Amino acid sequence: MGIASRKEREKAEMRRLILDAAHDIFKENGYDGLNIRSIAERIEYSPATIYLYYKDKNEIFFALQYEAAAAKRDHLLPAASIEDPWMRLVEFGRLYVDFGLKHPDWYDLLFLTRAPMEHIENQDCWTLGMATHAFFVETVQACVDARYFKSTDSATIAYTLWCHAHGLVSLFVRERMRMYPPEERGELAKKSFAMMVKMAESL
Amino acid sequence: MGIASRKEREKAEMRRLILDAAHDIFKENGYDGLNIRSIAERIEYSPATIYLYYKDKNEIFFALQYEAAAAKRDHLLPAASIEDPWMRLVEFGRLYVDFGLKHPDWYDLLFLTRAPMEHIENQDCWTLGMATHAFFVETVQACVDARYFKSTDSATIAYTLWCHAHGLVSLFVRERMRMYPPEERGELAKKSFAMMVKMAESL
DNA sequence: CAAAGTTACTGAACGCTGTTTAGTAAAAAC
DNA sequence: GTTTTTACTAAACAGCGTTCAGTAACTTTG
C-alpha cells in the first residue's frame, strides 16, 4: 500500500512538475516557444520522459487550457456575487473583456487556438468553460425574467453580447487593430463596451 | 531587351505558378497542410527553387493573404452600389458575415492567424484590407450624416459593429460554438445579426 | 541477502518541418 | 568558341513531435 501510494503520488508530482514548466514557458515565450524539448530542459529530464506522463503534446495543451479556464473563472468570480442581474451582467462582461486584454495569451489559448479541438468536449477545460458560459446565460435569463429587456430571446441576447465581447478581445489579441493608434485602442474598447451596454439597455 | 523582358515575364509566371499551387493546397488541406515541399511537389520543382522566387514562407503567406483580401473585397462589392447608407451598411454586414461563414479558411487567414504580423502594415494585403475597412467606416459616417443614429461617434459605432460581426464569425471559424447543436448555429447567427441590426437602429 | 522481475529513465533515431549551400548544366554574352 | 551568368537541384542543417531499444535503479521474491 505504502509503496504503491507513494508511486502514485510521485507520478502526480511529476505531471505537476511538467505542467508547471509548460505553464512558465508558455507565459514567457508564448505558444510558439512551447515545445517538448524546452519543457524537458527546464525540468532537467530527457524529452522522452515527458511521454511517460503525458500521452502527447495535446494532452499538455489541454491541461494548460484548463489552467487558463480556471484563471478566467477566477477572474469573473467577483461578478457572481452581485445581486441585481443587470449589474451582474454588465460587470461580468466588463471582467470578461478585462481578462482578455490583460491575459491575451490565455484568451488566445482558450478561444483562438486552432489546435486539437477534435475531442475537446471530453476535456476538463471544456466542462469548466461550459460552467462559466452557463452562468453567463443564466444571468441573461435572470435579466429577461426581471423584464430588463423587451426581447425575451435570452439565448440570442447572450450570444450577441458574447459575439461583441469576443470580437473585441480577438481583434486585440490577434493584432488586427493596427489602423488605430496604440494609445487609442484601450479607449476605443471602453467606448465600444459602453455603447454595447447602452444598446443592450434598449433591447 | 527581348531576352531581359522574357526573363522578367518568366519570373512573374513562376511566382504565379507557385502562388496558385499554394492557393490550391491551402484550399484542399488548410493552413496546416501547406508547406514548401508540398508546393514544390505540385509544381514539379525542388523545394529549393521556391526560395529563388519567394524570400521565405511568410512572403508566400502574405501573397495568399492578399488573395483572401481580394476575395473578401469582391464578396462585399455588391453592397457598395446601394444608395441608401443604412441599407448599404446592413448589406455590407450581412455579406461580411456571409463571407466568413462560407470561407472560414480565408477568414482565418485574414483575421485569426497568429503568423507574421510584424510588418504586415507594409504588405499589399493590409493596404487592400484598409481600403475595405475605410469603405465600411465611411458608410457608417454616411449613416451618421443622414441622422440614422442618435449617436454621432461614427468611429465607435463602426468598431462596435465590427466587433460583433468579427466575434460571430470567429466563434464559428475556430469552433467555439459546440455548446449549440450544429443545425441551430446558422439560425442563431442570423438571429444575432438581426438583433444587432435592430439594436443599431436605436443607437 | 542474492536473484529475478519491474519500473523509471534516456540516447539515438525516425520522419516531418523551413531554409541554406555547394555544385551542375544550360543559356547568354562576349 | 570561350567565358560568364542564370536556373536549378541534391544534400544537408537545425528544430520539431514522437518512438524504441537499452540501461540502471528499485522492488519483489525465494
B61-97 pLDDT per residue, tens: 999 999 999 999 999 999 999 999 999 999 999 999 9
Q: What range does the domain containing A128 cover?
A: 63-201
Cα B136 to chain center, whole Å?
14
Query: In this predicted structure, what is the pLDDT of residue A188?
Result: 97
| Same domain, yes or no: B78 and B123 | yes
Q: Which pLDDT tens digit goes with each residue over A33-91?
A: 899 999 999 999 999 999 999 999 999 999 999 999 999 999 999 999 999 999 999 99
- Can you give the pLDDT at residue A74? 97
- Is residue A111 domain-shared with residue A142, that is, in the same domain? yes
* Residue stretches of chain B with pLDDT short of 70: 1, 115-119, 121-122
Please identify every stretch of chain A with a pLDDT value under 50, giving residue numbers as ranges.
none
Q: Are residues A77 and A50 in the same domain?
A: no
Does B6 share its domain with B84?
A: no
> Around Cβ B85, how many Cβ atoms within 10 Å?
19
Whether residue B148 sits in one domain with residue B81: yes
Residues B34, B92, single domain; the answer is no
pLDDT at A117: 62
Distance A37 CA to D22 C1' (A): 21
Cα gap B140→B155, rounded to integer Å:
8
Find the CATH number of the domain harbouring A148.
Answer: 1.10.357.10
Same domain, B49 and B67: no
In total, how many domains does chain A have? 2
Q: Same structural domain for residues B33 and B68? A: no
Look at residue A118 in the predicted model and tell me its pLDDT: 63
CATH number at residue A45: 1.10.10.60
* Residue-level pLDDT at A43: 97
B70 and B95: one domain?
A: yes
Residues B26 and B66 in one domain: no
Residue A144, Cβ density class (10 Å: 0-12 exposed, 13-18 middle, ≥19 buried) = buried
**Within 13 Å of residue B117, how many CA atoms lie on the same side as its CB?**
15
**8 Å CB contact of A192 and B120:** no
| Domain shared by B152 and B188, yes or no | yes
Determine the pLDDT at residue B5.
Answer: 83
Q: Smallest CA–C1' separation from B4: which nucleotide? A: C28
Same domain membership, residue A49 and residue A118? no
Q: Kind and range of the H or E element at B128? A: helix B124-145
Residue B118 confidence (pLDDT): 64
- Strand D neighbours (CB under 7 Å) are A 3-4, 34-38, 47-48, 51, 56-58; B 7, 10-11, 14, 44-49, 52
